[in-house]
Amino acid sequence: SVDPKRDTPDVLEPYVGYFSDGILALTGTEPELRKVAAQYGAQFRYVGTGSTYTVDHTVNTFIVDRSGRLARVMPYGTPLPELLSYVLGLLH
């Protein structure tokens, strides 16, 4: 998460559990998050102040291979069959 103020480990753990036991939720300090985002070519920014702020962020899907390398960036709206085909190809 790029929103560590709201997305604490106590919030993230049950959230990702709704999707799969194999999903690991991560967050960090803002400087750490900016460093990682830059490495992936992603961006985020906080809009507004106080408890009503929002977070604008990149909506691409970043696919990381088994070696931890960025294998591909899929744009928002990529059809599920295309995403699935690519990921299955990496797994075989």
Could you write out the DSSP letters of every residue in 37-57?
Answer: HHHHT--EEEESSGGG-EEEE
Prediction pTM value? 0.80
4-39 pLDDT tens trace: 999 999 999 999 999 988 888 999 999 999 999 999
CATH number of the 1-58 domain: 3.40.30.10
| In the chain, domain spans | 1-58, 60-92
44-65 pLDDT tens trace: 999 999 999 999 999 999 999 9
92 appears as a binding residue in the annotation? no
pLDDT band at 83 (very low <50, low <70, confident <90, very high): very high
Q: How far is CA 52 from CA 7, 38, 47, 49, in A?
A: 14, 26, 9, 6
pLDDT of residue 68: 87
Contact 26, 37 (CB under 8 A): no
Quote the CA–CA distance of 49 and 18 in Å, as a whole number: 30
